[in-house]
Amino acid sequence: MLRRQDVGHRVVVRRIVGVSQDRPLFTDALGELVELTETELTLATAKGTLRVPLAEVHRAKRVPAARRPPAADVIALELAANDAWPAPIQARLGGWILRAADNWTGRANAALAVGDPDRTLGAAIDAVEQWYAAKGQRPMINTPMPLAAPVNAALDARGWTARPLVLVQTGPVQPLLTEVAARRDLPPVELADSPTDAWYAMVAAHKGALPATARQIITGVPDVVFASVQDETGNLLAVARGAVTGPDRWLGLSLVQTAPSARRRGLGRHVMRAVAQWATQRGAARAYLQVEENNAGAVGLYQSLGFSTHHTYLTREAPEAVR
């Protein structure tokens, strides 16, 4: 059977799904083990998240990893993503980055566990807990997998919980440039160096109220652009944000939003294409985005645009008693 040390690794699970002629029926599931509790296990499979009660598990074991990017590539992309979503307060713990932003978004308020923290793993987690406690925030750690599998195992032992699995998806910029290029029925995309109040309002409708810290994160990148599409009366139909960061000139796509009344018209693709055009002028050849694995609609859209999962991460949260 599986152990906590297997979290973050590729596993195969044979489960009992029924009985026929007094014999059990089995089915196999292959994926990344993202959580293991006393009652169930959770896999990230090619078809989505699968939760299996342990009572249904007949056999389970770790299997060799599928082709994965080298650890150095995962770290480089995570650092580029950190630069594209810059928490206003950051501190170093060896290679780890401690981040705080008045609790606006998990990414900007969780330690990034990449590289060597320059101390034992237990001491590193203690330091994270102390740093966030001093700021009155619940300690959180982002754990890219399987790179941070040992961190996940240590956090499991301390009773840390996990938010939904996040897919870090990547793809070439070029296919984005051909999206809806031939359509003439869509309004033009406007690109700006700073967001308008209406742009912020559309983002806030999805993300909640935007404190000053949020606006600092959204605008705090040298190479950043804000895309928007309006109808004939000036109402916003869709928005998106693009940022180019890192030595490899990654295009980070974020805050792609479409007004409820304007969905299913290709406007999300429309604004992403405009951002991609802007990014190519700044040397970007590859793009990434971060999306929760359970957001099936967004995952399907990005897959159709040529994106695939580069790696995943969990945002781990300390027990309330630690705060």
pLDDT at 298: 84
Burial (CB < 10 A; 0-12, 13-18, 19+), residue 261, is exposed
User: Residue range 204-221: average pLDDT?
Assistant: 94
| Sheet with strand 40-45: strands edge to edge | 48-53, 40-45, 23-36, 10-20, 57-62
Spatial distance between the Cα atoms of 105 and 217, rounded to a whole number of angstroms: 10
Ramachandran assignment for 22, one of left (phi > 0), alpha (psi -120 to 50 degrees), beta (any other): left
Residue 47 has pLDDT above 90, yes or no: no
Q: CA nearest 292: which of 163, 206, 139?
A: 163
- Of 26-35, 199-208, 255-264, the least confident: 26-35
Residue 11 has pLDDT above 70, yes or no: yes
pLDDT band of residue 45 (cuts 50, 70, 90) is: confident
- What is the pairing mode between strands 40-45 and 48-53? antiparallel
Percent of the chain with pLDDT over 70: 95
User: Residue range 247-266: average pLDDT?
Assistant: 93
User: Residue range 81-105: average pLDDT?
Assistant: 97
DSSP 265-280: SSHHHHHHHHHHHHHH
User: Residue range 231-245: average pLDDT?
Assistant: 95
pLDDT band of residue 183 (cuts 50, 70, 90) is: low
pLDDT tens for each residue of 108-165: 999 999 999 999 999 999 999 999 999 999 999 999 988 898 999 899 999 999 998 8
Residue 204 main-chain phi, psi, to 5 deg: -65, -30
Ramachandran assignment for 89, one of left (phi > 0), alpha (psi -120 to 50 degrees), beta (any other): beta
Residue 286 has pLDDT above 90, yes or no: yes
The per-residue pLDDT of the chain, averaged, comes to: 91
Residue 254 has pLDDT above 90, yes or no: yes
Spatial distance between the Cα atoms of 168 and 226, rounded to a whole number of angstroms: 21
pLDDT at 95: 96
pLDDT band of residue 278 (cuts 50, 70, 90) is: very high
Spatial distance between the Cα atoms of 30 and 41, rounded to a whole number of angstroms: 12
pLDDT at 20: 87
Residue 314 has pLDDT above 80, yes or no: yes
Higher pLDDT: 276 or 321? It is: 276
- What is the pairing mode between strands 48-53 and 89-93? unpaired
Q: Confirm if 164 and 290 have CB atoms less than 8 A apart.
A: no
pLDDT at 180: 57
pLDDT at 9: 74
Q: CA nearest 89: which of 78, 100, 74?
A: 100
